[in-house]
Amino acid sequence: MEKYPLELEIALSAVKKALRVCRRVLDRFVGVRGYSFEKADRSPVTIADFASQAVIMAELLNAFPADAIVGEEDAGLIRKDHGIYDDVVSIVGEECGDFKDNKLSDLIDCGKRPFDPLHRFWTLDPIDGTKGYLAGRQYAVALALMEEGNVRLGVLACPGLEKTPLETGEGGCILFAIRREGTRVMKIDGGDTEPVTRKSFIPLERARLCESVEPSHSAHEIHARILQDLGISAPPLRMDSQAKYGAVALGTADIYLRIPRKKDYREKIWDHAAGTLIIKEAGGQVSDIMGRPLDFSKGEVLEANTGVVATAGGIHAQVISAVKRAIRPC
């Protein structure tokens, strides 16, 4: 890939470090009291979320000190609890060296500094799908580089997603894309990279839907109406995290729907930036539920969009039409 060679090298290195951190936390803390916590919005967060964000922040800021980074987590919880702080310091220190005083908290909080969404910045979800991570299901580490309101580079590490639908095991893969240079995939533990390309057309009746495990995250009953409308009989593939974008890019699934339960709910950019670019560069399409492109120029939130529809490409217009019919009575 010719564009952003250093950025890609650093992004891949940072995400691999974060994956090692996530594995260490699972090995060391599963079943230990104080391993996971509840944030103010009642969503879960773990020691691994903080440690993953810290190691990625450290790698990016060391290479690109002028870049802003927008991350999901803040250090409020670990500033209040020295026990949690010490655990995160211990895990991060094995990848990045010792952190003295409160430098680790300051590093994590770099993700909450003001930024200009039309300038260059990175957006990061250190563990997307924390419930899946806790339950031993799918999760992802998602990192994207933004410039002028567009996703230029995306990296999506999916420890539970294999490179092809026929592969088995627990190796997982890393997908990455650069705008106008395509999408590629590699095994998490290294090796050669391969191009990822979706067919421009698949028979709609043979398509498979990918949706969130949690019904609170998207409206499963509306999804079911859409499948019936489209004549799709295959049961939905339910997965946590942006791994759903990876599944569509790789051909494990063909449609990803995220229809919010509340009309005023808006998605966060770190939940969709990397996955959006990976699907588009693989030949697929991504829009909101009205068919509008996702607008990443508004800040942390996709203010101009409602929900998400991602497809293999050739069926996108038909899926959007079915979505509109399904939500019209609402």
Starting at the edge strand that comes first in sequence, how are the strands of the sheet with 150-158 ordered? 68-71, 121-128, 140-147, 150-158, 173-178, 182-187, 190-196
Strands 209-212 and 255-258: parallel
How far is the C-alpha of 302 from the C-alpha of 151, rounded, in Å? 13
Is residue 197 part of the annotated active site? The answer reads no
Task: Out of 109, 125, 128, 130, pick the active-site residue.
Answer: 130
Pair 14, 144: CB distance under 8 Å: no
Is residue 49 part of the annotated active site? The answer reads yes
Question: Tokens 């996703």 correspond to what residue?
Answer: 151
Pair 247, 129: CB distance under 8 Å: no
- CB atoms near residue 115 (< 10 Å): 19
Task: Out of 49, 128, 254, 288, pick the active-site residue.
Answer: 49
Strands 209-212 and 237-239: parallel
Q: Supply the residues annotated as catalytic.
A: 49, 130
